[in-house]
Structure 1
Amino acid sequence: MFDIKWIRDNPEAFDAAMARRGNGSVRASDLIAIDERRRGVIVRLNEAQEKRNAMSRQIGQAKAQKDEARAAELMAEVSRLKDFIPAGEAEERAVEKELRDALAALPNMPLEDVPEGDDESGNVEYFGPNGTAETAARLRPPKPVFAFAPKEHFEIGVAEKDMDFEIAARLSGSRFVVLKGQLARLERALGQFMLDLHTTEHGYLEVQPPVLVRDDALFGTGQLPKFEEDLFFTPHGESRLALIPTAEVPMTNFVRESILAEEELPLRFTALTPCFRSEAGSAGRDTRGMLRQHQFDKVELVSITTPEAAIDEHERMLACAETVLRRLGLHYRVMTLCTGDMGFQARKTYDIEVWLPGQDSYREISSVSVCGDFQARRMEARYRPAGERQPPRYVHTLNGSGVAVGRCLIAVLENYQQEDGSVLVPEALRPYMGGLAAIGGR
């Protein structure tokens, strides 16, 4: 969320940033005009209150002097002001809401090094801060080579047996799945492996957050008001709660309405939770298989840090997510999203795309974003700089998938499939699978 003072001071920079995000119709001048109206109302209201207070004192003086005519005249004016002030306060609230709603609907400003583009065709492959295609190729697992035509995940023998879409449809409708037997165990192993990696090697604190949250939490991270149709809501007393679309929502809101000490930063959280999305904007996409579900499990990473450390933290978080795929031996690439493909709250986003041989394509398995103070302003999350006597500053927030468990299961099935319909278990997962080297097969 933007600071209107910053927009007043930097109108050209604001207009340029909105144009890069495809919001060229939004102009700083329009927002400043709303703010001028707000400031005008406040000035008139303050003047009226000061005048009322002064006249109230004059009434006492007039009565003390037994000047009843003057006292009556003053009392009539005070009465008029008393009627004006509630109307002025209502006008102030209305204009405040108009400005807040306008600011809340604006996407975050992209960093200068984010490539420009209208959609995913403008995304650019990323090889690391000082890397090249050659160094990245050495670090990333190679594509698998098959002596047969690889199948899509739902066509593989073990999946045909243990991935049940019919039962799920009878229970819940389309875009749900029931996993059984060894496939259910393999998905559980993936989630446990990711959590152990991030907590023991990457320094994240494992948490188990609620999966139902209030509107305020969704506003804080940017899902509301813009993406309400993508959420599932349930009544809760006179209000409502929403099923989380990602654990980013509760974990980022851990610091809402608080002032941290700089010594506490960075805070790093991770959680394995179910996620719920209506996929309102994806009708007709990926209707077969598990790629696009209403309910799926994901290991999420969230960092809360200082402005100075945020860019390095972004690279660190990307490396943590990449490690998951490297340990599993899954080929992938990293893309820097362009201005037209970035999420609403992001200043810069890296997408990790895993190779799916059954589809003969790369598919997103993780998004890692740095959000600057955009979410912090919406949450009122700040920190007090160490050793400095100055007002608290807003924290910077980051989030990333570490990684999507269901899509990782798809990747394991397709990359480790065997001609007989079995699937080899990656070495890193075998301790979680009781030592099994393969599942399924004839």
Structure 2
Amino acid sequence: MKNTKPNQLKKALGFSFGIAIMVGSTIGAGILRTPGAIAGLLDNYWLIIGCWILGGIYVLIGVGSYAELATMLPKAGGSYNYVKRAFGDYAGFVTGWFDYIANAIAPAFFCIVISEYLVILFPNLENQTTVIAIAFLIAFTILHSSGIKNGSIMQQITSVIKVVLFVALIVACFMYSGVKINPIEKNATALQIGGIIGFFKSLQMVLGTYDGWYAGSFFAEEDENPSKNIPKSLYTGAIIVMLIYVLINMAFLYVMPIASLANSPLAASDVAKVVFGENGAIIVTIIAIFSLISILNAFMMIPSRILFGLSRDGFFIQKGTTVNKGGTPIVALLISATFTLFLILIGSFEVLFLLGTFMAVIVWGLVYCALIKLRISEPDLPRPHKSWGYPYTSIVMLLFSIVLFCGFAYSDQKSFVTICIITALSYPLFLWIKSNNKKSSNDNK
């Protein structure tokens, strides 16, 4: 492989990485927790399974949109590139920073949660959670500093281990025959108002568990053949995740009745205790740790790609475009790791996490708007892959994003006000950055 030019990312990724980043950034500890909460809201087997299938269909529609945009504009940073192309520099600037914040907060959360799960296995480490979290951060920063190939290999290994562990748990549940399961009857309350509200609350949790499905778009510039690999990997990954989520819920409900599973804070642990005995909790903890390591690896890579793209377009410092010999945007990685370290040390990033989720919903909505706008304004732009069901699927996704935005604005008014303030301040900041870039450009002539 030829050496890359300065400040140019390496084309070193392929189909297998695309699947690994999709699976790795999506399947986390959420699927081990949410089935209990959902069973508490929906006491009907088919409604529960239907909710997970509907979430999978949502992802498959979204994958089509992102596959079209990522193959049309295969650039580092993903979402903000599409919005910038459709609506101009300012829209791209706001989208990019919203997307960066949403993704840069996540590694701190995952480092802390991994440390908490390790304490379950090793109680003597109870007072060392912050140290463990920082150790994971440093280890993964060093790993990704060494180059994109090592990060890719780690992602593929951890994602394969994760899938194998989940499949083993599913098989073990279906092989279990120690408890006679009472037949689950359909509940008429599902047709009542309370049932409808419960279904939508459940769907919100399901979509949160599916979050991360669009991760492959951030690495389009580093893919050896994005036109071919990105659509294939996004769809394949989405189907794998959907199958695991649906089957694991069926497996849990095979072992335990809904009434027993309902409102369990860690449903997988309760099921594993029935299947494996008291050691079941340890088995689930190990699965959770591997899931989180895989998702941490993915989210250590994503923010640096967004920051690299923002820097290249003049929306951040020029040094942010620095790429080392291994193909890693090293300055962007170190800045993102420093931000993660800060969040771990202050230990109170829950509010920021909610803010990040809110921002992510705004980014999704803008991306679907961008797809529609580019279809109208640039119909002749090469599109190696076209979103299936357009324009209907894109309109549905856009409307769904608007509904989510309204719901979040109502339920999380602090984040809504914060976003309004950030947006108001962003325009003068954008003008200042643009003016500085223009001045620097003139000085260099």
Q: State TM-score, norm by structure 2.
A: 0.21
Whose strand proportion is higher, 1 or 2?
1
Whose helix proportion is higher, 1 or 2?
2
